[in-house]
Structure formats: structure tokens, C-alpha cells
Structure 1
Amino acid sequence: MEAQTGGDAGVFDKPRMSTPSPSPRLGFCGAVFIMLKSALGAGLLSFPWAFSRAGGVHTAVTVEMFSLVFLVSGLVILGYSSSISGQSTYQAVVGHLCGPAIGKLCELCFVLNVFMICVAFLVILADQLKKLSISIYELITDSAGNAMPYHWYTDQRFTLFLVCLFVILPLSIPKEIWIQKYTSALGTVAATYLTVAIVVRYYTRTVPEVHLSPSYNTGMGFWASIFNVIPTICFGFQCHECCVAVYSSLGNKKLSNWVIISLLSMFICLVIYTLTGIYGYLTFGRNVAADVLMSYSGDDVLMIIARLLFGVSIITIYPIALLLGRLVIQDPLLRHRETESYETCIRVALTAVWIIITLLIALFVPDISKVISIIGGISAFFIFVFPGLCLIFAMQSQPMSARLRWILIAWGMITILFGTFIFGQSTFFAIMQVFHKL
């Protein structure tokens, strides 16, 4: 049988066993688009700040290119793991290949990661509401220069509460977030528009240019500056949680096809993130905000449109992230009792509690850089650690040459060690930042 033959070529060219999926199948372009939609999100706003923290353009781009090897590797490993396990979700693949204990750890990390992503969404949404409110105040300032008086109901935090109550909550309660099919392109449009706007504003700005050397002294050591940018890269390029579902829906499940999809998706992300990081950093230098849109003036029409696009995109994506986390928590609660009324009560209660807690954290931790440091650390599990574990466990049973098996096991160990280091480093710096502010 072909599945039992050895050799390096077979690992990359023949489709492995997989469970049949309903038609229609997902095509090449559709897979690339979904991967882009998953990766191009809130992390884009922080790339100019990450370039500043890295010490300049050259260092940041070098770290990006180095990280891209591991990012693409993780996607390829997860596609391969899905093909040999026949599972269609990230958690199921890890649980099947690595055992129930590691599977439970994966579920815990998955919920925590999605939860913190929801916090980041609300922090960014609050930032955009704050900047929009400033624009409104400037527009209604009277001729004497007297701005509209401050009231509690004009505070952006109260507006964020209203958005959560009357928009996000109703969109999050249903079992399936049907609105996604109408807003699937919004995140990509918002990301592309933001990048174009930042490049255009750099070349059309009227303020004096910010003269920057290729790198500058951030006050930290060289390696500390490099590792400062990695959590933002992990947060920005993160699409690994959905890649298993994308692979399992492909019509052509050859791993060579999946490798091309992964490479193309990450390359497009690299171009968009790098352009945003370079031109945002060159515009503001070391003074760039952690949310780059906060660095632009409130009356900039290009950036007002960008804020509106990103705000609407976040409002529609938040329910999707909530749904993914809620399903993991909800399944054990429904295992022994599965009536319609009980399921509805559990779903509504989990949704309400999730939104309340993420809203409170977003209000009391308004700095997006702290949230990204935590998310970047957790993301290291999904980008490096779990794919490395899946590769090592898969090599125990898959037929191939001994030399290739040991090479792949060694690579799996390298990704695990690298991911563990990134998690420890980013989490440590996030905690130190919190204590430094106290």
C-alpha cells in the first residue's frame, strides 16, 4: 500500500486519511482568504510600536523574517497532524496525537487565549471611541473656544458599555454567528485600508520629518530589544487556531498544496504588517503609541475612516472569538444534561459573564501593549509548543526513513523550546510592566 511506503517525498505529496466532509469543498483562494481574515486583525495597530520597541526597522524586519520560519512551520505541522489524525479542530488534533492530558491543557490555553483576544478587542474599541469623541468635541467647539462640557454619559467608557450591551451581546448569544457570512471580508478590508492610509499619510504629512537612524538605543540590551517585538508578531500573525479547520475543509488535501497556502498567506501578512510597521514608525519615531491610530490627530479624515472600519470589524469579530471560547467551556456542562432550555440558559449565562469580565478588564487595563504581551505569550503555545508536540508524537507511528524521522523530531524539540522561552519571556515582561506601574 502507498501509505506504508517510506521516503521523503511521500510525506509532502500524498493526502493522508481524513474524515469525509460535506460539499462544497474549500478551494485554494478561499483557504488563503480565510487565513488572511484570521491573521489580519487588531495586532496590526501595534506593529509600529513594536518596531519602535525593537530599536528600529532593520532589527524588527530581521526578527519578522526569522519568526516567519516558525510560523509557517507550525501551520504545515498542524495540517499534517490533521491529515494523519482525521480531526477537524485544533484541540481535537492535539488531544488525539498527544493524549488527553495535553489535550486538556490545549483547551485551557485556547480559552485563555481567546478570552485575552476579546479583551484586546475591547481595549482597541475603547481607544477608537476615545479618539472619535475628541473629534466630535473639536467639531462642536463654539467660536469662543469653549468645548462641550464633560458629562458621564459622554465618556467613551460609557459608550463602550452601551456597545457591549446593545450590539455585541445580541450578536454573541446565538449558537451560530450568522452575521459572519456578511462581514467575512471586513477585517481584510480594514487592515488593507489602514496600511494604505498610513503609507499615504507618511508621504503627504505637513509636519517636519522625523529623522531616524536605522536603529537607536532603547535603553535595553540588544537581545531584550529583539525579544520585545516577538509577542506582537505572535499576536499579529496568529491564525493557527483556525488552520486545522481550514485544512480539513480543503478539496485538495495534499500537504504540498497546504504548504503553498501557508506560505502565500504568511507572505501577504508579512507585506501588510511590515509596511504598516515601517511607515507608522518612520512617521512618529519612538513616540508612536501602542495603538498607532491614537498617534494621529482627531480631525484626520483618512484615519477617522480607519477607526470606523476597525471599530465595526472588531464589533463583528468579537462574537466569533467569544463563540470559540464558549464552546470549549460549554461542552462539559452539557455532557450529562442536554435539554433545549438548559442549553439556552448555559449559553446566555456564559455569554453575559464573558462580556462583563472582558469589559471590566478592558476598562481597568487601558494599555493595549500590556494585553498584547500576555496574548503573545499564550500564542506561543499554539504557534510553537503544541505543533512541536504534535510533530514529535506523530513521528512515533508514521512510516518514513529513520533519518527524516529524527530530523523532524529534532525540529519539534526546537520549536517547543523556542515557544517555551517566548512564553516565559513575554509573560515575565508583562508582569514586570504591571508591577512597575504600581
Structure 2
Amino acid sequence: MPIPDDGNNIEADQLLVHRSNGKSNGVASNGRHSNHIETAPNGSAIEEYHQPPSGPIDNKESYDYESDIKKDNIPTREGIDGTTTALGGTFIVSNAAIGCGALAFAHAFKEAGGLYVGVIMIFVCACLCSLSLLICGYVCGLCRSSEFHEMGRELLGWVAELLLQLCLVVANLAACTMYFVIIGDQLELIFIRTTGPEYFCSDPWFFNRKLTIFLATVICVYPLLLVKKVDFLKYPSLISVGSMIYLMIAVVIKYFLDGEEVHDKVELNYQPDNWYSAFNAFPTILFGYQCMTNAPPVYANLKKKTSATWLQITSGTILICTVVYLPTALFGYLTHGTRITSNILKAYNPDETLIFIGQIGVMASVMMTYPVVFYVARNAFDPMYTGVRKLFDTSYDPMAWSTRRRIIEATCWYLLTLVLGLFIPNIGVAMNFAGSVAVFFYFVFPGAFLVKIGYSRREELGDNLMRFVIFVGALLFAFGCALFIQGNYLALETVLSSKSEPSFCEQRKLDAEAALTTTPFPGP
């Protein structure tokens, strides 16, 4: 029988990837290797092979990677009991998708060129994400995989697996950098409310943005990266999802609280000057729907591994995300128009209690989510490092060095994201980087999977269906590569050209100067 998981010994390295409770598919939820033993009709034992642990080697159990060779007669994953229902899978995948990406959706409308095209882009991205999720579910059932990089290895070889692991590390690095930028934004708004804009804009040294980000993260975030188990962070996604739902409600309420006089003064664009500017919104919106890497473990633990079940999960996930994202972006843009900031909370008056509560919630969720994202990245990076190290040093014992390696990895990761977070001007830049890497999970590899499936199963599919599958796969692959180039170009252009948005104090000064130039002098 599959090994049950009582939910009390969840490894930190698997927190974000394995969010479901209950029994796992022959692999314990703490990431340790296990084999499924069954009895044949003749009384002999049949051992079902499962993949070795893909996460960091922190336990003291020895494991021989060379002797544990994969058998060819693997039972189909459909025969392994799961515990997750369609409703449970929907909430798991949607929790993985909903996050701080909602902060920049209103700004994505501005980047796209207007209100109408922004709404259209959300629905286009939702449809494309649905297609990618459906492809991931199909490939999971075909390859009997419980990790995204396992699908790459089964269909495309070890090179694809290595590229997928690297993409996962880079995408999470960009996400953690964005979290530090968000922390800096929220700290500024909190200081403005507590001390007043006049005192804050007098620029005292202890309100320096770089200093406050460092102090806040080294005290509240860095210690969480050093522990082996973080059971108290099992449900940080609930804080994040709750904060985003509150943000959506607050944005909508704030719009209706403003009078018509305020709405009339807002400058709005409804359509872009150039049609290709609509693609500027793709990286940000796609990052908000990012949940592809969570699809394989959810599918592997489904009670009913059918196309209908996965279609329900896909539809429910995209619907929940769109219901949260669309009102936030729509009413946020209607409230501020072309003056919307990359972080929507920075566009509001920090003295408003409704918005201030949202700022506290967002900062708390970011501080709790950062360690979980780090452990997922470490889960991908650590086996790559230990594998390369053993190639050059056969006597190297990964388990003996696990504690020191964990501290070194956590420290290097923290310092790298800290440096990037201190010098990246706003979350829009970080989100463009993160979204451009996420297209590998959305389009590039799913497209390559379809091309491989089309060629390898051409006799079963027939000529016409084979051509269609290969065409769709090649189209997704090319589209993903184009988005990757475009997203990085936008981010680099913003950084190199110093086209950053003004800070609160700079904007306050500009508004005061504009008021002086527009105010008529009294007559004689």
C-alpha cells in the first residue's frame, strides 16, 4: 500500500511543491525515497520503483544512486491510490497561483496601452494558461511523473531535466528579488503613515530604503532559511491568498467611495497607439497565473486520474485566479489611470486605514512566502550541486555536509536576492524577469512535449492529428521563446535607461510644483 503521510513531518524542501495532505503516491511527503511492495499471485514480492528524492540530501539514511536503476516494467500511476479530489486539487493549484502578482496587474493595463486591451490580455493569458495546464496533466499521466523536471527527463532526456531545474532556480530567484522590493515598498508606506510625509521626506538616515530592507529581512526572513524543517510555515499560502482577496475588495470599495469629481480627473487610455504594445503586459500577467510546476504532484495524488477530473481542476483554478485578478486590475486602473504605479498599494494615500491594513497583510505574506520559495529553489539546485561534486570527488558524502551546505546555500541565496532587490527600481522590473523565465513552464517545454509526443505516437494519432499536435507544440515553443526575449528586453530597458517611477517624496514634490504652475495669480 502507498505510504501514508500524517502531515506532521513535512520537509521544508517539499512545502510548496507538495501541498496536498494525506497519502502520497509511494513517495513520502518528506521527500525520502520509498519503494512500493506488493505481492504477486504466486506469492513473490514485486517491488515498484519510485524516483529517488529530488530534494536536498539532509537525512542520515544512506542511498545508493548507482544501484537503484529504473525498471522498465513500472506499473502505471493510474493504479496507485491517491487522496486528492477535484475540489481539493483546484484549491491547491489556485493557492499556488494567487500571489503578489496581483499588485502589478493594474500597471500591466498601463503597459498594454489601455483599459480594453488590458482586459482582453487577462482573458487571453487565462486561456493560454488553461491550455498549458491541460498539456501538463496529459504528460503527467503519460510519463507517470510527480515533478515537472521528471517529465522533461522522460520525454526529452537529461539535458531537458537540467534546463528545467535551472529555470526553476532562476524563476524563484526573480520571485524572491521581487519580494524584497515589495518589502521595501511596504516599509516606506508604513513609515509615511506612522511619522508623517513631512518628516519622512526630510530624508533621515534611518529611513534609507537599502538600510530598512536589510534590517527587516535579516531579522525576519534570513533565520527562516537556515532551519531544516519549517512546519510552522505549512500554510503560508493562506496568508498570501487572504491578503490578495482583501486587496481586491479594498480596491473595489475605494473606487466606489471616490466621488464622480475624483473619477473625472483620472486620465484613462482605452486602447494602445501601437498594437504590439499589448505584448508588454504578457510577462506580468503570466507570472500571476504561474502554477505549472505544481501540476505534476497534484495530478500524481489525484483519487481519479482522468481527463475529466483534470479539466475540472484546470477550469476551477483559472476561474478563481481571474475572479481575484480582474477586479483588482480593472478598478485599480479606473481609480488611478495613467498614474498607476507598478505596486498598486503605492498609488493610494498611506493614511487610509483600508489600504494600510492591506499593506501590513502583503508584507507579512511576502515574509512568510519567501522561505518556502527558497526551499523549492534549493530542492532543484541541491541535487545538481551534489551530483557535480561527486563527479570530481567520489569520496564526497552529501549527508555529512548537509548542515554546512544548507547554511552556505541559504546565505548565498539571501545575499544575492538582497543585492538585486536593493538596486532593482520597482517590482515591475523583477516581475518582467520572473514572467519571462516562467514562459519556459507555460509554453517552451509544454510545446516541446507536444512535438515529441506527436513524433513518437504518429502511428496512433494518424497523419492529420500528428501534424496538428506538432504544429501546436511548435507554435507554443516559438511563442514562449519570443516572450522570453521580450520580457527580458523590457526589464533591461527599464534598468539601463533609468526609467524608474518616482518615489513618494519625488512625486509629492512634482505634484506641488504642478499645483503652483496651474494656480492662477490673484488679480490686482
TM-score of the alignment, normalized to the shorter chain, above 0.5: yes
Query: Which whole-Å CA distance do the structure 2 matches of 1:437 and 1:188 have between them?
Result: 33
2:471 is aligned, of 403, 410, 418, to 410
Structure with bigger RCO (C-alpha 8 Å, 6+ apart): 1
2:337 is aligned, of 256, 270, 285, to 285
Could you tell me which residue of structure 1 aligns to residue 175 of structure 2? 117
- The 1:400–1:70 alpha-carbon spacing in structure 2 relative to 1, beyond 3 Å, is farther
Mapped contact 1:58–1:214 kept (Cα < 8 A): no
Query: Which whole-Å CA distance do the structure 2 matches of 1:392 and 1:160 have between them?
Result: 45
Could you tell me which residue of structure 1 aligns to residue 409 of structure 2? 350
- The 1:20–1:361 alpha-carbon spacing in structure 2 relative to 1, beyond 3 Å, is farther
Q: Establish whether residue 229 from structure 1 lines up as the match of residue 290 from structure 2.
A: no
Range with bigger deviation, 64-73 or 272-281: 64-73
Could you tell me which residue of structure 2 aligns to residue 136 of structure 1? 194
Higher helix share: 1
SS in 1 for 2:425: coil
Could you tell me which residue of structure 2 aligns to residue 26 of structure 1? 84
1:435 is aligned, of 496, 504, 508, to 496
SS in 1 for 2:455: coil
2:421 is aligned, of 362, 382, 390, to 362
Could you tell me which residue of structure 2 aligns to residue 94 of structure 1? 152
Could you tell me which residue of structure 2 aligns to residue 400 of structure 1? 460
Could you tell me which residue of structure 1 aligns to residue 208 of structure 2? 155
What amino acid is the match of 1:285? G
Deviations, residues 413-432 of structure 1 (Å, cap 9, x unaligned): 11111111111122222222
What amino acid is the match of 1:46? A
CA radius of gyration, larger in: 2
SS in 2 for 1:437: coil
Range with bigger deviation, 378-387 or 173-182: 173-182
Q: Identity of counterpart residues, as a percentage?
A: 27
What amino acid is the match of 1:240? M
Query: Which whole-Å CA distance do the structure 1 matches of 2:498 and 2:202 have between them?
Result: 31
Could you tell me which residue of structure 1 aligns to residue 320 of structure 2? 268
Mapped contact 2:455–2:470 kept (Cα < 8 A): no
Query: Which whole-Å CA distance do the structure 1 matches of 2:250 and 2:181 have between them?
Result: 22
2:240 is aligned, of 187, 197, 212, to 187
Extract unaligned runs of 5+ from structure 1. 1-15
Mapped contact 1:36–1:188 kept (Cα < 8 A): no
What amino acid is the match of 2:262? P
- Aligned-residue offset at 1:345: 0.6
- Aligned-residue offset at 1:168: 1.2
Could you tell me which residue of structure 2 aligns to residue 12 of structure 1? none
Query: How is 1:71-86 mapped onto 2 (pairs within 5 angstroms)?
Result: 71-86=129-144
1:204 is aligned, of 246, 252, 257, to 257
Query: Which whole-Å CA distance do the structure 2 matches of 1:230 and 1:114 have between them?
Result: 18
Query: Which whole-Å CA distance do the structure 1 matches of 2:175 and 2:191 have between them?
Result: 24
Query: Which whole-Å CA distance do the structure 2 matches of 1:165 and 1:204 have between them?
Result: 39
What amino acid is the match of 2:263? E
Could you tell me which residue of structure 1 aligns to residue 67 of structure 2? none
1:252 is aligned, of 284, 292, 304, to 304
- Aligned-residue offset at 1:117: 0.6
Query: Which whole-Å CA distance do the structure 2 matches of 1:190 and 1:123 have between them?
Result: 17
Range with bigger deviation, 54-63 or 204-213: 204-213
Mapped contact 2:190–2:356 kept (Cα < 8 A): yes
Query: How is 1:38-77 mapped onto 2 (pairs within 5 angstroms)?
Result: 38-77=96-135
What amino acid is the match of 2:434? I
- The 1:129–1:146 alpha-carbon spacing in structure 2 relative to 1, beyond 3 Å, is closer
Deviations, residues 137-181 of structure 1 (Å, cap 9, x unaligned): 12xx9xxx8679754334343332223222212222233432332
Mapped contact 2:100–2:240 kept (Cα < 8 A): no
- Aligned-residue offset at 1:68: 2.1
SS in 2 for 1:395: helix
- Aligned-residue offset at 1:75: 0.7
Query: Which whole-Å CA distance do the structure 2 matches of 1:199 and 1:148 have between them?
Result: 30
Q: Establish whether residue 298 from structure 1 lines up as the match of residue 350 from structure 2.
A: yes
- The 1:211–1:406 alpha-carbon spacing in structure 2 relative to 1, beyond 3 Å, is farther
SS in 2 for 1:253: coil
Mapped contact 2:444–2:480 kept (Cα < 8 A): yes
- Aligned-residue offset at 1:84: 1.1
2:225 is aligned, of 168, 172, 182, to 172
In the alignment of these two chains, the number of paired residues is 415
Query: Which whole-Å CA distance do the structure 1 matches of 2:376 and 2:191 have between them?
Result: 32
Could you tell me which residue of structure 2 aligns to residue 315 of structure 1? 367
What amino acid is the match of 1:75? L
Query: Which whole-Å CA distance do the structure 1 matches of 2:439 and 2:283 have between them?
Result: 8
- Aligned-residue offset at 1:24: 6.4
Query: Which whole-Å CA distance do the structure 1 matches of 2:476 and 2:434 have between them?
Result: 18
What amino acid is the match of 2:222? L
Query: Which whole-Å CA distance do the structure 1 matches of 2:451 and 2:134 have between them?
Result: 14
Mapped contact 2:78–2:305 kept (Cα < 8 A): no
What amino acid is the match of 2:460? M
Deviations, residues 176-202 of structure 1 (Å, cap 9, x unaligned): 432332434111111111000000000
Query: Which whole-Å CA distance do the structure 2 matches of 1:66 and 1:146 have between them?
Result: 45
Deviations, residues 17-64 of structure 1 (Å, cap 9, x unaligned): 32876x762222221112121111111000111112222221111122
SS in 2 for 1:285: helix
Query: Which whole-Å CA distance do the structure 2 matches of 1:196 and 1:396 have between them?
Result: 48
